[in-house]
A and B are shown apart, each in its own frame.
Chain A
Amino acid sequence: MTTFDHILLFKTDLSSRSAVDLIRPVLDSLEHIEQWNVDLWDEDFVLRVVSYKATHDEIITLLNRAGHACAELK
């Protein structure tokens, strides 16, 4: 059976395209992240990361360091 533990989800305050553009280099530079996107059209501005290696804590720390709120979406 397929599982989805490699899809990491976060609630963020990345509410605009420019905010997303600012964190783009950070997330793009991580080779173990296969894909990521932010849902700018919904109220939780969900960051969706596809990675078999990344951890929630790692992404939260990255976003916090860049000055953004980020919490695991459960």
Chain B
Amino acid sequence: MRKRDPEKEEAVKTKAIDMLVNDGFEGFSMNKLARACGISVATLYIYYRDKDDLILSIAAEKFREMSEAVLGDFDPEADFETGMRKQWENRYRFMTERPVITRLLEQFRSSSYQQRVIPDISRAFKEKMGAFVKSAVKRGEIGQMSIETFWCVAFAPLYALLRFHEEGRNMAGQPFTVNEAILWQTFTFVMKALKL
């Protein structure tokens, strides 16, 4: 008789994430995962109907966690600088505290799984961020611009810093660790660029 064991399920997910991050989607197999977890392949297929189901449900769960971490206490009605500061803080915290999950989500974003996972979860993102930017424009805090322009100025600098941090090197190959001073200094320049 087979039973569901939540603890074992969590351990399987953690191991699967490690393997996906280290070996990529191509190198990943149910057999390897079962072996690494010390369980039978059959047990994996009790939890998940196939490999895609496993990958997609992990992706969906982690995107949801990220979305909650980033949007949870974010108020789209806030004034532009307050809202942006919260966004930077939440994204910074999530990415520095959960680097493996961040790498996994990056991998999904650049894979064929993207279309199948992101639509659902990114709706909340689009709605909240859309409303936030719209009211900032309406209040005359920032100018009208394409969503891509907005993202490139508003968030790309943050992601560039976090990438240096993740790689442990800056663009010149010198050692780099992000800290709050650099984070908020960069934020100040981003605000200067965006605010009218």
Contacts and interface: CB of A to CB of B under 8 A. Distances in A.
Do A and B form a real pair?
A: yes
Interface of A: 1-5, 7, 9, 37-44, 46, 48, 73-74
Interface string B144-179: 000000000000000000000000000000000000
Interface in B13-32: 29-31
A48 B49 CA distance: 7
B45 A41 contact: no
Given A5-B1, A37-B49, A74-B42, 15 more contacts: A1-B3, A1-B4, A2-B4, A3-B2, A4-B3, A4-B4, A38-B50, A39-B49, A39-B50, A39-B51, A39-B52, A41-B51, A42-B29, A43-B30, A44-B30
A42 B4 contact: no
Contact of B50 (A1, A7, A46, A73): A46
A19 to B, nearest CB: 15
A4 B46 contact: yes
A5 B50 contact: no
Interface string B34-64: 0000001110011001111000000000000
